[in-house]
Amino acid sequence: MASVSNLSTLNPAASLSEALPHRRNSSRNCFLSFKPSSSAADYKISLSSSLRSLPSIPRKTSLRIKCSQTDGNGSPAKRTVLHDLYEKEGQSPWYDNLCRPVTDLLPLIASGVRGVTSNPAIFQKAISSSDAYNDQFRELVQAGKDIESAYWELVVKDIQDACKLFEPIYDQTDGGDGYVSVEVSPRLADDTEGTIEAAKWLHKVVDRPNVYIKIPATEPCVPSIKEVIADGISVNVTLIFSLARYEAVIDAYLDGLEASGLNDLSRVTSVASFFVSRVDTLIDKTLEKIGTSEALNLRGKAAVAQAALAYQLYQRKFSGPRWEALVKKGAKKQRLLWASTSVKNPAYPDTLYVAPLIGPDTVSTMPDQALEAFIDHGTVHRTIDSNASEAEGIYNALQKLGIDWGFVGNQLEFEGVDSFKKSFDSLLDSLQEKANSLKLVSH
């Protein structure tokens, strides 16, 4: 990571409590609209009718969950299917987005969201399309920070503030939930040691117990995962696209726990972000080229089938003597997290990558579109292992048609890393332009 040595320990420019009274309406990146309140405790979800009874909404409209002050009697927020998802089936719904002000997350938390994920593309959109970062950015550049150092300070403030909002969930679940994820620089995807250094640095400057440091599951970074876990840092392993790489990620987590030397492993946790919709996007193109009825009938089925097999692998790996020895030291399972849950093909049901993947000890992180759809018309019951033999049959049938699962995983990993690098570079360019427009740097 460039300029790490130039970065000081970060301190948010303004405390969350100071920000709360001054928050303003925003629908910039979040699908919620708000009314101001004097404290976080004064927020509740106010729905005129049951979300489940609402008609299916057009794809391009936005379900607005209005937020209002309570009447002072502490009446609880209205339940949604997200509460049922966690309480009845043991799956944690997270939100795959983050924008400033982070208080936009308050009604989401009230509606049952239990964590947040971010990535370079999300920050690129949030920072480049908003003026909410201008004041802090101006101060940082005037203080002599280079553009990349300034970027990380903007990001760290958002992460710290979001961690504060989710800390009650983290405490209530004894570190089982309530996490906020922040990713190391995507430029480090092929750099084992650089990733280790960046993860340790991010963990230190964010300095929150409920932060997850995101590390990509690239081949060079799998050893990084082991080292970072061994150092006692909780990790969200991202960009997992194949069963083979997922097993390597699990082994890295187990190796890291065993190498840590800690007597109490309960505070070192992890999730493995298994990407879903992008698998269908790539495989469907191949199936359409093949063009047979058998091939065309398998469109839209590959991603969920592979995910179901990943859950079987999860169950096998987190059982038996090796795992039981770690449990005695307080170890927690590395939960499977379903990522890339928005539907890319408009012909598919809008809950395709959420509804069939419900099961205990898992996380589903949903961007606006998927979260909105599931709250509106999602149903809650265990589905992830309801038909394991069918998932295996689909996986094998695709293989017989010539689908190379190893190639699919490698190709999607390459595309994912490349996309994040481009978002990261684009954001730095945008910040440079913003600095120039604000006449903060000399030419």
CA distance 68 to 250: 43
Polymer length in residues for the chain: 443
Burial class (CB in 10 A: 0-12, 13-18, 19+), 402: exposed
CA distance 182 to 140: 20
CA separation, residue 430 to residues 6, 400, 418 (Å): 21, 46, 18
Kindly write down the DSSP assignment for every residue of 271-301, as one continuous string.
EEEEE-HHHHHHHHHHHHHH--HHHHHTTTT
What does the buried/exposed string (b/e) look like for 173-198 if buried means 16 or more CB atoms within 10 Å of the residue's CB? eebbbbbbbbbbbbbbbebbebbbbb
Strands (E), 76-184: 91-96, 116-117, 180-183
| Active-site entry in 125, 214, 301, 332 | 214
CA distance 64 to 107: 11
Contact 93, 371 (CB under 8 A): yes
| 3-state class (DSSP) for residue 116 | strand
Which helix (DSSP H) or strand (DSSP E) does residue 389 occupy? helix 388-400
Contact 231, 260 (CB under 8 A): yes
Kindly write down the DSSP assignment for every residue of 161-214, as one continuous string.
HHHHHHHHHHHHTTTSS--EEEEPPGGGTT-HHHHHHHHHHHHHHH--TTEEEE
| Joined tokens for residue 390 | 């069918």
Longest dimension (CA), the chain: 64
Of the candidates 63, 74, 76, the residue with the CA atom closest to the CA atom of residue 32: 63
CA distance 366 to 373: 10
CA distance 356 to 310: 13
Query: Does 157 qualify as catalytic in the annotation?
Result: no
As annotated, the active-site residues are: 214
